[in-house]
Amino acid sequence: MTIQEREDRHTSGLYQKRPLAIVRGDGATVWDSDGNEYIDCVGGQGSANLGHGNAAVADAIARQARTLASSTELFYNDRRAELYDVLARILPAELDRVFLCNSGAEAVEGALKFARMATRRKGVVATMRGFHGKTMGALAATWGPEYREALGGDALFPGTTHIPFNRPEALEAAIGPDTAAFVLELVQGEGGVRPADPAFVREAARVCRDRGALLVLDEVQTGFCRTGTMFALERYGIVPDILCLAKSIAGGVPMGLVAFSRRVGDLPKRSHSSTFGGSPLACAAAVAAIGEMERLDLASRARDRGEQLMDGLRGLESPKVREVRGLGLLCGIELRENAGPTIRGLQERGVLALGAGPTVVRYLPPLVIDARQVARVIAATADALA
């Protein structure tokens, strides 16, 4: 019985799986169960910034697993304290409090909850095409109506509204005296690889400040060197009230966090918690992963290889291409047709890529990808489009 058949016997059925069983990875390369090699431009949907099989992270996980894998925040812990020190060094100084959790959706859930508790308001404003997760609160901020159809529509989180992305004039009318938070991605990933306009971000910060609402940045996908700086907020010259991070923070081990400023105020004890959040195992992995990101200067790599990829994609002479856009090594091609055939064509040519809406091919490779591999991705894209 094949791996696919064994999974299909018991899987939830919620995932639209491709007929590949990925069994090994090294750097920006993965192999399937038949030994076929692929350049990985899926990158764990943003969780593999550091690449596959990093020895420093693997060693840190092994050492900690043999020492102490679990210890909740009922107690203090040396690895957690070490991670807090690292985060204090790389985060904006204003974001000096951190709640550790397990995923991006959990981070967004925590951020919405903290904003409501801090402001004693109920309203949440998000953007069209935004994606913030599929758990109940995060799903309310997520734009795609198709994700909510099975739940009976939009009545998930009363008081949640959506405004057009990159339309500064929409902010004044949307953010009012009952708004707890405005939630924003600096690059919409799932929504089509659309970078935020700096003027839109600045106006959002101003309106939130003037109206007493909290600005929440969702950097679950853009964080940890993806856009060419440790966090995308550095490219926009802004510090939010609340920052959501996850995906690549721990080199492939599940982890997320909510970082927030003193403007949020004191949150009630026991009003939020997470059994696995801040476990010694995940903290050890995160300390090692962040250290490797800095040692390998992944931010510079993301800038250089992202420029190479986008320049190459923009140079493709194909009538199918409408636009190439992105930031750092988060790149997308918007096509004049459905992206499915191109994504399948790339896979046949040894490149795994993502969709981002019906007409966008998204490239999200590990930041350790080299120039030769990027050139192969560009050539495979040209061939698939032809």
Give 186-235 pLDDT, tens digit per residue: 999 999 999 999 999 999 999 999 999 999 999 999 999 999 999 999 99
Give the Å distances, CA to CA, from 357 to 48, 126, 198, 333. Answer: 21, 18, 23, 11
pLDDT-derived band at 153, boundaries 50, 70, 90: low
Q: Across all residues in the chain, what is the average pLDDT?
A: 96
pLDDT at position 150: 77
The reported pLDDT for the residue numbered 136 is: 87
Percent of the chain with pLDDT over 90: 92
Q: At what angle do helices 78-90 and 280-295 cross, to 10 degrees?
A: 40
Has residue 159 got a pLDDT over 90?
no
Count of alpha carbons within 13 Å of 63, Cβ hemisphere only?
12
DSSP 75-114: S--HHHHHHHHHHHHHS-TT--EEEEESSHHHHHHHHHHH
pLDDT exceeds cutoff 90 at 157: no
Confidence of residue 380 (pLDDT cuts 50, 70, 90): very high
Residue 156 has pLDDT above 70, yes or no: no
Mean pLDDT for 101-123 is 97
Token duo for residue 310: 């986008």
Which CATH code is given to the segment(s) 3-53+297-385?
3.90.1150.10
Predicted pLDDT of residue 364: 98
Are the CB atoms for 309 and 374 separated by under 8 Å? yes
- Judged by phi (left if over 0) then psi (alpha if -120 to 50, else beta), residue 153 lies in left
Residue (of 271, 299, 263) closest to 95 by Cα position: 263
Residues of the chain with CATH 3.90.1150.10: 3-53+297-385
55-295 to CATH, choices 2.60.40.1930, 3.30.565.10, 3.40.640.10, 3.40.630.30 = 3.40.640.10
Tell me the C-alpha distance between 328 and 299, whole Å: 8
Q: Please, where in the chain does CATH 3.40.640.10 lie? A: 55-295
- Segments in the chain forming alpha helices (H): 3-10, 43-46, 55-67, 78-90, 104-119, 136-141, 169-174, 198-211, 233-236, 280-295, 298-314, 340-348, 371-385
Residues forming beta bridges with residue 243, ordered by sequence position: 217, 259
Question: How many angstroms separate the CA atoms of 183 and 223, rounded?
Answer: 16
Q: How far apart are the first and last CA of the chain?
A: 37
- Grouping H, G, I as helix, E, B as strand and the rest as coil, residue 335 is strand
pLDDT of residue 148: 79
Say what the pLDDT of residue 31 is: 98
The answer to whether residue 101 scores a pLDDT higher than 90 is: yes
